[in-house]
Structure 1
Amino acid sequence: MDYAEDAYAWLDFALFGLLGIAVVVLVCRPLEAWRPVEPVTDRRAIRTDMLYTVLSRLGLLPLLAFVLLSSAQAAWEGWLTEAGLLPPTLEELVPALRDHPLLAFACYVVILDFAEYWRHRAQHGFRWWWALHAIHHAQRQMTFWTDDRNHVLDDVIAAVWFGAIALLIGVPPGQFPLIALVLRFAESLSHANVRLDYGRVGERLLVSPRFHRMHHAPVSAGQHGKNFAVLLPVWDWVFGTADWKRGEFLPTGTPEEPEVLATGGWWRQQLVGLRRMAGALAGR
């Protein structure tokens, strides 16, 4: 009956996913109704993004990621125990964090946000990965639902990357879902169809919908991307990928990519993404 314990743990993870959807809807939906950037002209595209969100946060992917990462954690801890070593966690390197859980939580968020910045740059930098990530950028009717508009394989890579970094720095199991909730909420808000920025100072502290919308403009596709940060724009600032144009809310989409990536259904977009990735790996 070992599977029963895993099932309960996955159920906790799924409940956090459900909570995340509820929080995002309660916050972002009124904002989009208050000051939309553009009118809704393609509700079918939004419904497709809603399906992406449900499958990503409540469906097979969370279970798959949980099983993979649980196995990896057991193997990692077993190898370290046999070698007589302690895991090189953040709290082992900085013992003072053990007495300040909120500070430790903030440090975990900053480190994982930094890791997400570089993963996002890699999605634009490698042709095979961009072939998958282009599904996310093809959306011309961008809303807070667009955050989860990703190819399944892209989501699997992202989940393994995020979980592996969290495992490496020793994120406590109880804090992992909360950190994921914070970062995913930030991502959903940054995709919202709302005319909102945080001012000259605030835009340099937190990623706003205006800041991230620049990233989804056609001029920011592929290797020419800007504004990659998830939560903290300081990474774009430091590494020269920030675009601070104030007051601009540009149209979104990738006109050079196949139309099916913008208007096709979930299944067709998944198949086209796989074919495009295979073509990129084959040098086409």
Structure 2
Amino acid sequence: MFETLRDGWDQMNGWLFETLVQPLLYAAGLMEWAEDAFEWMDFALFGLLQVLIIYAICRPLEAWMPVEPRSDRRSIRTDVIYTLLTRLGLLPLIAFVAFASMEARVSGLVADSGWVPPTLETLFPILREWPLLALCVYIVVLDFGEYWRHRFQHMFPWWWALHSIHHAQRQMTFWTDDRNHIIDDMIGAVWFGGLALLIGVPPGQFPIVVVILRLAEALSHANVRLNFGALGERLFVSPRFHRLHHGVLGSGESGKNFAVLLPVWDMIFRTGDFERHRYPETGDPELPEALATGGWLHQQWAGLRRMGAALIGRG
């Protein structure tokens, strides 16, 4: 099934490239960039697919039963810019330029050494016979990694200086999921991608894992009055559960409700709060105004200055 999806995706990309992009490259005399252009187009189309899926699910929910009215549309527009740059532009471009050559070199060194890195499928061969089970295992492991990355974002002062841009938003919507400093996003890309390579997530399953976790994160940030009940909220992160993290439970190292998809990690490590059945206002009041207002560039610069101050012990 996963191979069929991947083949279909590759065929669509190939058709679009040959129909739209390749003629432009030929006309401009840039055919030597054809392979790079194809890889970049794959990045952009996958990002567009994520945005469309998330919008189709989350926007109707926000319109149906919002927690609060959309009173600060300027702030929401800034979050939309964050999403478009992250999913369609800036971050994929940086990731492609910075890591494509490094990945090729590392793969070559590993192949030359003859060493075969262990993966979950080599440790547990049954996963090869049950691809859906393997997919679930990969999601659980990567979600566990994301829980700890989130904990570390609140734990280390320099990292919190970057992550606090995310917590400064007072008008939270599903767009807020991508409201991050670019350095924080780069660290997250390396963290998530490195763990996926380490456990051997197959190329055909990796995009599915990404879409599932991205959808879970976007839904948890949605401006929607939705909870999953006493049992459901211990199985999956709900918008109410995560809104608490952006409200009264989200400041620095003392925060709660860090889970991305599975609240079991908050239960195991005693960082969960399942008792406060309310939808608080969002936005840490202790954060400077520069992180809550202004445009993308203004917030990026403010976050960079805060990180520098934290690193030299002034933040």
Bin for the TM-score computed over the shorter chain:
over 0.9
* Shift in CA distance, 228/147, structure 1 to aligned 2, threshold 3 Å: same
Select which of 192, 195, 207 maps to 1:165: 195
Structure ID, larger Rg: 2
* Shift in CA distance, 127/95, structure 1 to aligned 2, threshold 3 Å: same
Select which of 84, 96, 102 maps to 1:54: 84
* 1:220 match: secondary structure: coil
* 2:186 match: secondary structure: helix
Query: Is 2:279 the counterpart of 1:245?
Result: no
- Structure 1 CA distance for aligned equivalents of residues 293 and 120 of structure 2: 44
- Structure 2 CA distance for aligned equivalents of residues 83 and 39 of structure 1: 59
- Structure 2 CA distance for aligned equivalents of residues 70 and 91 of structure 1: 25
Alignment deviations for residues 172-209 of structure 1 (CA, whole Å, 9 cap, x no partner): 12222221111111100000000000011110111000
Query: Is 2:181 the counterpart of 1:151?
Result: yes
C-alpha displacement at 1:63, in angstroms?
A: 2.3
For structure 1, list consecutive stretches of 5 or more residues without a partner in the other structure. none
C-alpha displacement at 1:87, in angstroms?
A: 1.9
What residue in structure 2 maps to residue 79 of structure 1? 109
What residue in structure 1 maps to residue 23 of structure 2? none
Structure 1 length normalisation: TM-score? 0.96
Conservation of the 8 A alpha-carbon contact between 2:167 and 2:250: no
Letter in structure 2 aligned against 1:172: P
- Structure 2 CA distance for aligned equivalents of residues 7 and 219 of structure 1: 44
What residue in structure 1 maps to residue 205 of structure 2? 175
Conservation of the 8 A alpha-carbon contact between 1:14 and 1:58: yes
Identical residues among aligned pairs (%): 65
Conservation of the 8 A alpha-carbon contact between 2:249 and 2:257: no
What residue in structure 2 maps to residue 41 of structure 1? 71
Select which of 95, 105, 121 maps to 2:151: 121
C-alpha displacement at 1:3, in angstroms?
A: 4.6
What residue in structure 1 maps to residue 306 of structure 2? 276
C-alpha displacement at 1:15, in angstroms?
A: 1.1
What residue in structure 2 maps to residue 257 of structure 1? 287
Alignment deviations for residues 7-36 of structure 1 (CA, whole Å, 9 cap, x no partner): 312322221211111111111111111111
What residue in structure 2 maps to residue 97 of structure 1? 127
- Structure 2 CA distance for aligned equivalents of residues 72 and 91 of structure 1: 25
Moved more, 244-253 or 125-134: 244-253
- Structure 1 CA distance for aligned equivalents of residues 204 and 35 of structure 2: 16
- Structure 2 CA distance for aligned equivalents of residues 199 and 17 of structure 1: 32
* 2:278 match: secondary structure: coil
Conservation of the 8 A alpha-carbon contact between 2:172 and 2:282: yes
- Structure 2 CA distance for aligned equivalents of residues 161 and 68 of structure 1: 14
Query: Is 2:221 the counterpart of 1:191?
Result: yes
Conservation of the 8 A alpha-carbon contact between 1:13 and 1:177: no
Conservation of the 8 A alpha-carbon contact between 1:69 and 1:163: no
What residue in structure 2 maps to residue 23 of structure 1? 53
Letter in structure 1 aligned against 2:294: G
- Structure 2 CA distance for aligned equivalents of residues 2 and 236 of structure 1: 50
Letter in structure 2 aligned against 1:111: V
Query: Is 2:169 the counterpart of 1:135?
Result: no
Structure 2 length normalisation: TM-score? 0.87
* Shift in CA distance, 47/77, structure 1 to aligned 2, threshold 3 Å: same
Letter in structure 2 aligned against 1:22: L
Moved more, 196-205 or 74-83: 74-83
Letter in structure 2 aligned against 1:85: W
Cα RMSD for the two superposed structures: 1.4
What residue in structure 2 maps to residue 207 of structure 1? 237
